[in-house]
Amino acid sequence: MHQFIKDTALELGFDDCGIARAEHLAVDAEFMQLWLKEGNHGTMHYLERNFEKRTDPRVLVPGCKSVVVVILNYYHTHAQPAGSPKIARYAWPATDYHTVIKAKLKLLEKKITDTYGSNIVNDSAQHSFTDSAPVLERRWAQKAGLGWIGKHTQLISNKSGSYCFIGVLMLNAEMEYDTPVADRCGTCTRCIDACPTKALNGKSLDARRCISYQTIENKNPIAPEFRELLSGYMLGCDICADVCPWNKKRAIPNSTHELKPTNEISEWNADDWRNLTSEDFNRTFKKSAITRAGYNKLKENIHFVLKNNELSG
Ligand code: SF4
Ligand code: SF4
């Protein structure tokens, strides 16, 4: 079953797949409790909820015995015109990655249930996830042998570096498991040194200081102390990933046609973004991950980035 699932995941277009035993994540639970207590999550209060479910898949999905983890590379080398407010690579595809991964996970589940029977999943509870439920996906990927969590707090996949999405399918059958991957950051501190807002400390991320949080999750305007530190980004940030030597070694352009970048992002210059209307926004980004920020937030972010460009130009 173990090898069948891994082979099938690759046939469906995932870049890697590993399987871990479902168990309580005691170390992560302790770490998260402290991280939340310190307020590192800012206004992302949903992270405080469902703590038991987040740290034990058997509570989230009754009957769960195994956690199947899949990876989908989203790296691409497209570039925006010079001076345009920047968008992190993950948000370039015209189709939101949640949609792409959910569809592929559904196919994987069907192939598994067709072969091993429908009892292998708990149909009365949601059992497949991608960045949308209380699941510590990066930890499960590490336990399933797919990579390790770097000092920039992202998964560094054995196959494609850290530009990858993670999907999870929980099964209520035991099987053979993969070997967890040990940390390979060593003494490197490039991501910590490169972060313009000092959001990384080598062990964790202060989300409140992260450009991704400030430009997407923080529904208030970007905090004044960070406005001049945006480094050109209006949505998300790739700085810590771009400097990682593992990405320089491993990141290769993805070949998933559903993740094809939106043409407008490659073409729009600073004025196009400055003049973005809500109609343009809805028409162009309706199905993309950019909608998470919302039109008004994006316009504010654009304003701050272009103001920085004017001051430095
Ligand atoms: S995404 Fe950007 S702001 Fe956030 S930790 Fe990485 S470098 Fe820092
Ligand atoms: S830049 Fe260095 S420390 Fe940071 S994640 Fe990559 S290897 Fe690890």
Tens of pLDDT along 123-164?
999 999 998 789 999 999 999 999 999 999 999 999 989 999
Q: How far is the CA of 207 from the centre of ligand 1 (A)?
A: 9
Q: Is 180 in the pocket of ligand 2 (CB under 6 A)?
A: no
Q: Which of 28, 131, 242, 280 is catalytic?
A: 131
Q: Is 88 in the pocket of ligand 1 (CB under 6 A)?
A: no
- Minimal CA–CA distance to 303: which of 192, 215, 206, 177? 215
Percent of the chain's residues with pLDDT above 90: 96
Give the CA angle between residues 76, 233, 153 to the nearest 5°: 70
* Residues 206-231, mean pLDDT to the nearest whole number: 95
Q: Is 212 in the pocket of ligand 1 (CB under 6 A)?
A: yes
User: Distance (Å, rounded) from C-alpha 165 to C-alpha 131?
Assistant: 9
pLDDT tens-digit map of 244-271 = 999 999 999 999 999 999 999 999 999 9
204, pLDDT greater than 80: yes
User: Distance (Å, rounded) from C-alpha 146 to C-alpha 69?
Assistant: 8
Q: How far is the CA of 265 from the centre of ligand 1 (A)?
A: 21
Q: Is 141 in the pocket of ligand 1 (CB under 6 A)?
A: no
Q: Which ligand gives the minimal distance to the CA of 185? A: 2
313, pLDDT greater than 80: no
Ligand 2 atom at shortest distance from the alpha carbon of 200: 4
Q: How far is the CA of 184 from the centre of ligand 2 (A)?
A: 8
311, pLDDT greater than 90: no
Q: How far is the CA of 212 from the centre of ligand 1 (A)?
A: 7
Which parts of the chain fold into alpha helices (H)? 2-11, 26-37, 51-55, 57-60, 97-116, 137-143, 190-194, 211-212, 224-227, 239-242, 245-250, 263-267, 270-274, 278-285, 295-312
Q: Which ligand gives the minimal distance to the CA of 149? A: 2
pLDDT tens-digit map of 27-85 = 999 999 999 999 999 999 999 999 999 999 999 999 999 999 999 999 999 999 999 99
**To the nearest whole number, what is the mean pLDDT of the chain?**
96
Band of pLDDT at residue 89, cut at 50, 70 and 90: very high
Q: Is 230 in the pocket of ligand 1 (CB under 6 A)?
A: no
Ligand 1 atom at shortest distance from the alpha carbon of 191: 7
What local confidence, expressed as pLDDT, does residue 117 receive?
94
Give the CA angle between residues 196, 291, 53 to the nearest 5°: 80
Say how many C-beta atoms besides its own lie within 10 A of residue 114's C-beta: 9
CA separation, residue 45 to residues 39, 40, 48, 137, 257 (Å): 10, 11, 5, 18, 35
User: Distance (Å, rounded) from C-alpha 166 to C-alpha 141?
Assistant: 8
DSSP, residue by residue, 22-48: ----HHHHHHHHHHHHTTTTTT-GGGG
* Residues 221-243, mean pLDDT to the nearest whole number: 96
Band of pLDDT at residue 309, cut at 50, 70 and 90: confident
User: Distance (Å, rounded) from C-alpha 8 to C-alpha 91?
Assistant: 27
Angle between helices 295-312 and 278-285 (to 10 degrees): 110
What local confidence, expressed as pLDDT, does residue 263 receive?
94
Q: Are 67 and 180 in contact (CB under 8 A)?
A: no
95, pLDDT greater than 90: yes
What local confidence, expressed as pLDDT, does residue 65 receive?
98
User: Distance (Å, rounded) from C-alpha 183 to C-alpha 173?
Assistant: 29
Q: How far is the CA of 74 from the centre of ligand 2 (A)?
A: 19
Q: Which ligand gives the minimal distance to the CA of 151? A: 2
What local confidence, expressed as pLDDT, does residue 133 receive?
83
CA separation, residue 84 to residues 43, 90, 171, 190 (Å): 28, 17, 45, 26
Kindly list the domain boundaries of the chain, sorted by start residue. 2-171
pLDDT tens-digit map of 286-304 = 999 999 999 999 999 999 9
Ligand 1 atom at shortest distance from the alpha carbon of 194: 7
